[in-house]
């Protein structure tokens, strides 16, 4: 899933993201970013992410697991 | 649901946009987000300028202005208008219908049908379907379809989810019997009332009448402030609905019409924002030059009026001399998704005016 981390870093506008990074710590972690993540997941991994599923997520790893669960 | 019509055509399109233009950059301070976040939003969604009515302007003002222009210019005549269909979510009154207000103020003939239909972003498609159905009657030869909304009046200026994308506007489309009686129009439509809360103005109807309490501004967990009198959008739910429903709907339309995407010359889709339209084009494998997505950037999203505004702004005079096989699509409040395949042009007029 290295590609996924690259995609997430690009969307969050940072150099790199790590599994343990907390989503709330990113300045750009807002509804727009969540929409971009959902669009990327749909495009690259073929899964639909709902906003309520994203609400409980804490770390980048949680997000990765959610996207993987939709593949 | 598949629908089919024959012997009908669009003969003219006039878009009416308010003169008052507001820049996204000048509104950034209204939002409870960092400048960096808002500039990212601007870039991704394609926000730049939008047209907002000045205080007190109603949808009937825009409609009457447009129709009066057409009457004064001799592009339509009073006595040939057999029906007036107004598609709006922001009527002047709960009663009477705003279409009757327009008819009365313009002195249109009594021997006609006036109809208000409440629809939003799929309102151009639903309005055309309504016009085509009316034209089945021998007594009805020409229908005026008006799409218009003044949604800025129901949008919180402190809601970054909705205010930047909104644009007020109206469009007049003349729909009539086609001398080419065999011309075919294919359409389909889907409704999903289980997601009716994804786009909603909670207060102001009879379930929750507007009171001082419903006007109280409340900040959500993300930092957007709005009241119950304001328009609310669950952006993710709408996005998922559109990217999951629209591409297969268009595929199904092509199958129904017995043709393919490559035969379509223009995809004139509702204009929610650049992001969603590019995503749709990519998913459908359609090149961007066939699917204009710049209406939000220049004027804002005026709900059911975006498709005719798109035709007037991006095709304009080209539609006076040419005919294009065009795929229309509208999607939004309801939730509703609809598409249509038809030849459009040559038109008697296709232009834009400022109110």
pLDDT tens digit string along B188-223? 999 999 999 999 999 999 999 999 999 999 999 889
Interface of B with A in 215-234 (CB under 8 A): 222, 234
Residues B297 and B300: their CA atoms lie apart, in Å, by: 6
Which of A30, A50, A51 comes nearest B37 by C-beta? A30
Domain B1-355 in this protein, CATH class: alpha beta
Conformation bin of residue B158: beta by default, left when phi > 0, alpha when psi is -120 to 50: alpha
Torsion sign (Cα): B252, B256, B258, B263: negative
Beta bridge pairs of residue B78: none
Q: Name the residue with higher pLDDT: B148 or A44.
A: B148
Average pLDDT for residues A13-27, to the nearest whole number? 92
Could you write out the DSSP letters of every residue in A27-71? TT-SHHHHHHHHHHIIIII-----HHHHHT--BHHHHHHHHHHH-
Residue A61 has pLDDT above 80, yes or no: yes
pLDDT the model gives residue B222: 86
Contacts 24+ apart (CB under 8 A), B343-348: B343/B9, B343/B183, B344/B10, B344/B311, B344/B319, B345/B318, B345/B319, B345/B320, B345/B321, B346/B319, B346/B320, B346/B321, B346/B322, B347/B10, B347/B11, B347/B12, B347/B13, B347/B319, B347/B320, B348/B11, B348/B12, B348/B75, B348/B174, B348/B320
pLDDT the model gives residue B66: 98
Confidence of residue B260 (pLDDT cuts 50, 70, 90): very high
Measured between beta carbons, the chain A residues lying within 8 angstroms of B240 are: 38, 48-50
Q: Quote the pTM value.
A: 0.94
pLDDT the model gives residue B221: 86
The shortest C-alpha distance from A59 to chain B (Å) reads 18
User: Residue B5 in contact with residue B176, Cβ under 8 Å?
Assistant: no
- Tally C-beta pairs within 8 A across A and B: 48
User: Residue B344 in contact with residue B312, Cβ under 8 Å?
Assistant: no
User: Residue B299 in contact with residue B20, Cβ under 8 Å?
Assistant: no
User: Residue B142 in contact with residue B179, Cβ under 8 Å?
Assistant: no
Q: Which of A22-26, B172-176, B180-184 has the lowest mean pLDDT?
A: B180-184
User: Residue A51 in contact with residue A66, Cβ under 8 Å?
Assistant: no
Residue A28 has pLDDT above 70, yes or no: yes
Average pLDDT for residues B50-62, to the nearest whole number? 97
Residues B131 and B126: their CA atoms lie apart, in Å, by: 9
pLDDT tens digit string along B9-41? 999 999 999 999 999 999 999 998 989 889 999
pLDDT the model gives residue A44: 87
Residues of A with CB under 8 A from a CB of B: 13, 27-28, 30-32, 34-36, 38-39, 42-43, 48-51, 54
pLDDT tens digit string along B300-311? 999 999 999 999
Q: What are phi and psi of A25, to 5 degrees?
A: -80, -15
pLDDT the model gives residue A66: 92
The residue of B44, B220, B236 whose CB has the most chain A CBs within 10 angstroms, and thus the best one to mutate to test that interface, is: B236
Q: Is the peptide bond before B307 cis (omega within 30 degrees of 0)?
A: no
- Interface pTM (ipTM) of the complex? 0.87
Structural domain spans, chain B: 1-355
Structure-block tokens of residue A11: 């969307």
Could you give all domains of chain A from N- to C-terminal order, each with its CATH number? 2-70 (1.10.1200.10)
Measure Cα distances from B231 to B25, B156, B161 in Å: 22, 7, 10
User: Residue B174 in contact with residue B11, Cβ under 8 Å?
Assistant: yes
């Amino acid at each position: 899933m290295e590609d996924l981390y690259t995609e997430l870093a690009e969307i969050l506008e940072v150099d790199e993201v790590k599994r343990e990074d907390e989503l709330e710590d990113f300045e750009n972690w807002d509804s727009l970013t969540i929409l971009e993540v959902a669009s990327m997941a749909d495009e690259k991994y073929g899964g639909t992410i709902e906003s309520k599923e994203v609400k409980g997520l804490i770390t980048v790893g949680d997000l990765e697991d959610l996207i993987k669960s939709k593949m | 649901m598949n629908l089919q019509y024959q012997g009908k055509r669009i003969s003219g399109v006039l878009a009416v946009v308010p003169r008052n233009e507001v820049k996204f950059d000048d509104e950034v301070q209204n939002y409870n987000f960092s400048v960096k976040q808002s500039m990212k939003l601007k870039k991704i969604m394609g926000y730049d300028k939008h047209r907002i009515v000045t205080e007190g302007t109603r949808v009937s003002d825009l409609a009457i202005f447009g129709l009066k222009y057409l009457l004064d210019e001799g592009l339509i005549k009073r006595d040939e208008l057999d029906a007036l269909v107004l598609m709006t979510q922001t009527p002047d009154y709960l009663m009477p219908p705003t279409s009757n207000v327009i008819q009365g103020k313009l002195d249109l003939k009594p021997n006609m049908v006036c109809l208000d239909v409440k629809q939003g972003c799929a309102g151009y498609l639903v309005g055309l379907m309504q016009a085509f159905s009316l034209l089945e009657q021998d007594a009805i030869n020409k229908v005026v379809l008006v799409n218009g909304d003044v949604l800025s009046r129901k949008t919180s200026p402190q809601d970054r989810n909705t205010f930047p994308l909104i644009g007020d506007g109206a469009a007049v489309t003349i729909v009539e019997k086609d001398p080419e009686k065999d011309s075919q129009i294919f359409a389909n439509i889907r409704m999903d009332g289980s997601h009716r809360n994804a786009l909603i103005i909670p207060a102001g109807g009879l379930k929750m009448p507007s009171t001082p309490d419903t006007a109280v501004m409340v900040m959500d967990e993300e930092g957007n402030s709005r009241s119950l009198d304001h328009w609310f959008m669950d952006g993710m739910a709408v996005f998922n609905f559109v990217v999951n429903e629209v591409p297969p709907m268009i595929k199904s339309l092509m199958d129904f019409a017995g043709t393919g995407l490559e035969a379509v010359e223009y995809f004139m889709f509702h204009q929610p924002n650049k992001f969603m339209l590019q995503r749709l084009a990519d998913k459908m494998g359609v090149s961007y030059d066939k699917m204009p997505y710049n209406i939000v950037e220049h004027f804002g999203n005026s709900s059911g009026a975006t498709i005719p505004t798109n035709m007037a702004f991006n095709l304009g005079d080209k539609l006076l001399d040419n005919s294009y096989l065009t795929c229309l699509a509208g999607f939004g409040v309801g939730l509703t998704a609809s598409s249509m395949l038809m030849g459009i042009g040559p038109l008697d007029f296709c232009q834009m005016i400022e109110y």
